[in-house]
Amino acid sequence: MMKPQRRRGHRGEFSISRKRLKRKRKERGFSLLNIRSKWLVGIFSLVVALGFLAFSFDFSVAATTAKHYTELTFPPLPKVQVPAYTRFQLNNGMIVYLMEDRELPLVSGSAIIRTGDRWEPADKIGLAGITGTVMRSGGTKTHSPDQLNQLLEQRAASVETSIGEVSGNASFNSLTKDLPEVFSLFAEVLREPAFLEDKLQLAKTQIKGDISRRNDNPDDITGREFEKLMYGENSPYARTVEYATVNNISRADLQNFYQQYFHPNNIILGVVGDFDSKEMRQLIESKFGDWAKNEQLKVPPLPEVSQAKTGGIFFVNQPQMTQSYVQMGHLGGLLNNPDYPALDVMSGVLNGFGGRLFNQIRSRQGLAYSVYGAWSPRFDYPGVFVAGGQTRSDATVPFIKSILAEIQRIQTEPVTPQELALAKDSVLNSFVFNFQKPAQTLSRLMRYEYYGYPADFLFRYQRDVEATTAADVQRVARQYLQPGKLATLVVGNSNAIQPPLTALVPEITNVDITIPPPTSTTTQR
């Protein structure tokens, strides 16, 4: 008997019913799944077996070759290498550094301008910072802010400006192929800022918003008020921008401040990246060469510095806090002090995970969340020695006592060979990472020229750190650390600090951080 034949397109005659066909397909799927599963299981088992053998082998090898960390040896640190660079000066006095770096098709540059908020009028605090902001946000005489933003965004480029405490800065970043256009915009911003009124008002509004929030963060309070103890609340290095000083700033003030300092013979320009130095020099000369120098340029003398508060404990009451922020210190010195390398090693003995402060106060006594102590100099005005950290409210007094004890101990107790080696290694190891990229090295060369430091300053520093002895550390600790002049600031909850701060000194000076209210012409945000 002949089996019925299957007809294509006809659903009435099948040798196998539809349900049976589905069941067969399902059974075949399970069958294939079983085959795949067995195959995968086999492969997995093989991989596990090989991994176990490899692990067993590595483990056994490691067990016979592992060393204690004190037995590990490392090659000496590589010497810092300064990449080849070109330095020249335009006829108008602008100093230029060029450093080629062909690793990526990118070019970046920065200009340091000899200016800073330390030279702004006392009744217009905030003027320098606002000038630096509106130089960029206010567009140029050729391009409006929107046009400038659009041209840069289309090229994935940037041009930025700012003015800080001791210098002004203008920078650009560009793809190599867009360098002529971007550098032209960079030159425009430096030479022809428009200082539009609406952008000035926006900047002032943003500053006022910052003023209204400046007491929100206890860390910010601590840093700000500590600087006042060191330099004085009216010092350019510590004074605070207020609503009234911002209201005093006009567009004419920005223009005058700009005209006083922004001249080619007051600028150091550095460019690093993917370019040919000869072509880059031509581009710079074409954009800045016709900028007339200011023959009458006079940069004001640096403000005088003296320690405002010597000794004493100053307290900012913050009832909502459950911990205390502490900073204590006195005026320090300059980076070009011949003893700075030894002082930096001294800081290494005090600081870090292996330092005395961490080991004693945090690890052994359990008094601190964080603790630090360092000699922190500046380039052209005295820095500070500062120590402090964060601690529980009820541990505030023991915390301060312990820091004082460690400061005195480093003056009286010789540094051990292990402490010296760890401190020097920490300083030298971190020093090398400051020169990973050509841009970092170029930035340092420009800074040294800006402040009048010798070009080989970085090499002298490294050499002198290597030569520092334990006797050097103790000598500089005795000579420069002055426990009797330490002014101490505490930001915390007076009700929770037990024992009270009067356990340290009979009188505590309360610090008022109330923000002077805005005038009727000021809109507070």
Query: Across residues 255-284, what is the average pLDDT?
Result: 98
Write down the pLDDT at residue 436: 82
Q: Are 238 and 172 in contact (CB under 8 A)?
A: no
Same domain, 362 and 459: yes
Q: Is residue 2 part of a domain?
A: no
CA gap 464, 474 in Å, rounded? 16
Query: Across residues 313-339, what is the average pLDDT?
Result: 97
93 pLDDT tier (thresholds 50, 70, 90): very high
Same domain, 255 and 321: no
With a cut of 70, say whether residue 104 has pLDDT above it: yes
The DSSP element (H or E) to which 220 belongs, if any, is helix 218-231
Q: Is residue 22 part of a domain?
A: no
Write down the pLDDT at residue 431: 83
Write down the pLDDT at residue 22: 39
User: Which distant-in-sequence residues (6+ apart) come within 8 Å of 6 by Cβ?
Assistant: 13, 14, 15
Same domain, 319 and 464: yes
Q: Is residue 119 part of a domain?
A: yes
Same domain, 264 and 354: no
- Alpha helix segments (H runs only) across 336-437: 340-350, 356-357, 396-412, 417-432
Q: Are 115 and 163 in contact (CB under 8 A)?
A: yes
CATH label of the domain that carries residue 404 = 3.30.830.10
Q: Is residue 361 part of a domain?
A: yes
Same domain, 278 and 331: no
Q: 62-66, 319-323, 336-340, 451-455: which range is least confident on average? A: 62-66
Strands 267-273 and 370-376: unpaired
With a cut of 60, say whether residue 8 has pLDDT above it: no
Query: Across residues 416-434, what is the average pLDDT?
Result: 90
Q: Which domain holds residue 320?
A: 313-510
Closest CA to 376 of 391, 388, 392: 388
Residue with tokens 């602008």: 94
User: How many structural domains are present in the chain?
Assistant: 2
Write down the pLDDT at residue 80: 74
pTM of the model: 0.83
Same domain, 334 and 421: yes
With a cut of 70, say whether residue 50 has pLDDT above it: no
Q: Which of 240, 271, 288 is the last residue of a domain?
A: 288
CA gap 112, 168 in Å, rounded? 6
Q: Which of 272, 288, 304 is the last residue of a domain?
A: 288
Same domain, 283 and 347: no
Same domain, 177 and 215: yes
With a cut of 80, say whether residue 510 has pLDDT above it: yes
Write down the pLDDT at residue 65: 67
Same domain, 359 and 434: yes
User: Which distant-in-sequence residues (6+ apart) come within 8 Å of 383 by Cβ?
Assistant: 331, 332, 333, 334, 375, 376, 377
Write down the pLDDT at residue 329: 98
Write down the pLDDT at residue 115: 98
Q: Hey, what are 368's tokens?
A: 């601190």
Same domain, 277 and 351: no
Convert the pLDDT of each residue in 153-176 to its tens digit: 999 999 999 999 999 999 999 999
Write down the pLDDT at residue 248: 97
Q: Is residue 7 part of a domain?
A: no
Query: Across residues 512-524, what is the average pLDDT?
Result: 74
Q: Is residue 50 part of a domain?
A: no
Q: Is residue 522 part of a domain?
A: no
69 pLDDT tier (thresholds 50, 70, 90): low
Q: Give rounded-to-5 percent helix, strand, coil for the chain.
A: 50, 15, 35
Given its phi and psi angles, is residue 389 left (phi above 0), alpha (psi -120 to 50 degrees) or beta?
A: left
Same domain, 267 and 318: no
Residues found in the chain? 525
Which amino acid appears at position 305 of this protein? V
Q: Is residue 400 part of a domain?
A: yes
Convert the pLDDT of each residue in 293-320 to its tens digit: 999 999 999 999 999 999 999 999 999 9
430 pLDDT tier (thresholds 50, 70, 90): confident
Q: 23-37, 229-243, 251-265: which range is least confident on average? A: 23-37
455 pLDDT tier (thresholds 50, 70, 90): confident
Query: Across residues 435-461, what is the average pLDDT?
Result: 91
Q: Which of 254, 288, 322 is the last residue of a domain?
A: 288
With a cut of 50, say whether residue 460 has pLDDT above it: yes
Same domain, 227 and 342: no
